[in-house]
Structure 1
Amino acid sequence: MSGLLEVESLTRRFGGLVAVDGLSFSVGAGEIMGLLGPNGSGKTTVLNLLSGALRPDLGSIALRGQAIAGMPAHRIARLGVARTFQIVRPLASFTCHDNVLTGLAFGKRRAWGTQARADADTLLDRVGLARARDALPGALTYIDQKRLELARALALQPDLLLLDEWLAGLNPTELEQGIALIQSLRGQGITILLVEHVMDAIRSLCDRCLVMNTGRLIASGLPGEVLAHPEVVRAYLGDDDA
């Protein structure tokens, strides 16, 4: 497994708060890596730093050996990094098909015209939204809005996909479908770093996990080992339950 993403001593401060504190890790090509931790531990800030929404104060981020820390988000996207958000952000006045078209226009291999329209249909079918091609996002169910968010991210043709609680809020049937969909993406060569609180998904999907607390890495390794680590239990449940 070759290294796709290398992060070294990554640090981000907001005034006196150190949201990410000297974080180092790597993600291998084709891997699904879980990024875990209690609320406020810095997980989404890490995704914001990796995707270019924020600039780090210290540290380095390399994608395939190329330094990307501090690059604007659109340049990082064109190098092969895409993400979803905790709160879905569709273009409300565009159809599902046109939402995906916008991603294709600005991705790693920008597509236009007839080919882009065909590619958008393929992506909607891939995430299970072919039936909603001409629907507006506001008419979709919650899981279908998440499917659209994923299709827009995939339209950027990413090598590295950052999923920020994409499985949150799904019922058991939807969760099973969502896990299967993420597994299928790995099968198509996409490396995934996912922030998630759904432990069934972590155990089903992740090759390795990182756990953060108050901005710092407190554990890393196989999912079963990490979830049983005393410091991880303490971070989630408190000292009385550790």
Structure 2
Amino acid sequence: MTAASSAPVLEVSGLTRAFGGLVAVNAVDLAVQPGQIVGLLGPNGSGKTTALNLISGVLRPDSGSIRFAGQAIAGMPAHRIARLGLARTFQLVRVLQGMSCAENVKAGLAFHSPPLSRSEIDESVERLLRRVGLADRAGVPAAGLTYIDCKRLELARALALKPRLLLLDEWLAGLNPSELLIGIELIRSLKDEGLSVLLVEHVMDAIRSLCDRCVVMNSGRRIAEGRPDEVLADPAVIEAYLGVSTDA
């Protein structure tokens, strides 16, 4: 493997953001290697979504560096970061309910670089909807979709960017057991295609099944990093989630 191919697709160093007196993200370091799924874990309020917002350009960091595919992106507008090949989904599903599924995906393709022809757009819409299991829903209004299909549609729109890195913010949350299995297999298939993923998730079965490495946050700080089995057995991680010490 060459040095270029082994370089992190995402490298975050000293990332910090405060809101008034609350330091939501406090000097966090993390990296995602090409083709990896990295879990970003922690109890509610630990700063995980804020970290994703900083990486994707929704928020500007107070300090620290963010390098995506070797390029410094800290403070860059979200639309420019998206065009570089960094896509995301949101904790609260965001689909354009007044549009059909096909039109939602077309909205994502508007950020494609270079711009696509009309025939290329139509082909891409069909391929992306088929990719997430919505091949028969192209003309269906997004407002009429089930919860899991809304998540699939949001994912298709994110994949329209042909991203190198995908940020998933609790994409598996709220799914029933059978839907969860479908969602896990879909994410795993993205990795099999070479896509790198930074995954915020509370579903531990998914973390154990999908993640190559995990970074755990608590109160804005990174408190652990390693393989899923290592970090989930770490006393500091157990205490952060359960609020009790494992020392007895």
TM-score, with structure 1 as normaliser: 0.98
Matched, 1:121 2:126: yes
Mapped to 2, the partners of 1:110 and 1:86 lie a distance apart of 29
Structure 1 residue aligned with 2:94: 89
What one-letter code is carried by the residue in structure 1 that aligns with 2:199?
L
SS in structure 2 at match of 1:74: helix
Q: Which residue of 1 aligns with 2:82?
A: 77
The answer as to 2:145 corresponding to 1:136 is no
2:11 equivalent in structure 1? 6
Deviation, structure 1 residue 37: 0.2
Unaligned runs of 5+ in 2: 1-5
- C-alpha displacement of 1:75: 0.3
Aligned residue for 2:27? 22
Out of 198, 213, 226, the position equivalent to 2:231 is: 226
Partner amino acid, structure 1, of 2:48:
K
Q: Distance in 1 between matches of 2:181 and 2:113?
A: 30
Shift of 1:105: 1.3
Does the Cα contact within 8 Å between 1:108 and 1:157 map onto a contact in 2?
Answer: no
SS state of the match for residue 13, structure 2?
A: strand
| Contact 1:10 1:58 survives alignment (8 Å) | yes
Query: Residue 238 of structure 1: CA displacement?
Result: 1.2
Deviations 1:108-153 (A, max 9, x none): 4432411101101100000000111100111111000000010000
Q: Following TM superposition, by how much is the alpha carbon of 1:241 offset from its aligned partner in structure 2, in angstroms?
A: 5.4
Contact 2:235 2:246 in 1 (8 A): no
SS at match of 1:75: helix
Deviating beyond 3 angstroms after TM superposition, the runs of 4 or more aligned structure 1 residues are none
Q: What's the TM-score, normalizing by structure 2?
A: 0.95
Amino acid at match of 1:63: F
Q: 1:45 aligns with which of 47, 50, 57?
A: 50
Over the matched positions of the two proteins, sequence identity in percent amounts to 63
Q: CA deviation at 1:157?
A: 1.0
Q: What does residue 61 of structure 1 align with?
A: 66
Which of the numbers 195, 202, 206 marks the counterpart of 2:207? Answer: 202
Query: How far did residue 223 of structure 1 move?
Result: 0.1
- With over 3 angstroms needed to count, the CA separation of the structure-2 counterparts of 1:4 and 1:159, relative to structure 1, is same
Post-superposition shift, 1:12? 0.3
Equivalent-residue separation in structure 2 for 1:195 and 1:13 (angstroms): 20
TM-superposed deviation, 1:240: 5.0
1:164-212 deviation digits (Å, cap 9, x = unpaired): 0000010111000000000111111210000000000000000000000
Q: Report the counterpart of residue 219 of structure 2 in structure 1.
A: 214
Shift of 1:26: 1.1
Contact 1:96 1:135 in 2 (8 A): yes
Contact 1:80 1:108 in 2 (8 A): no
Q: Which residue of 1 aligns with 2:243?
A: 238
SS of the residue corresponding to residue 97 of structure 2 reads coil
Instruction: Report the Cα offset of residue 107 of structure 1.
Output: 2.6
Looking at structure 2, the residues matched to 109 and 31 of structure 1 have their Cα atoms a distance apart, in angstroms, of 26
SS in 2 for 1:90: coil
**Which ranges in structure 1 are unaligned for 5 or more consecutive residues?**
none
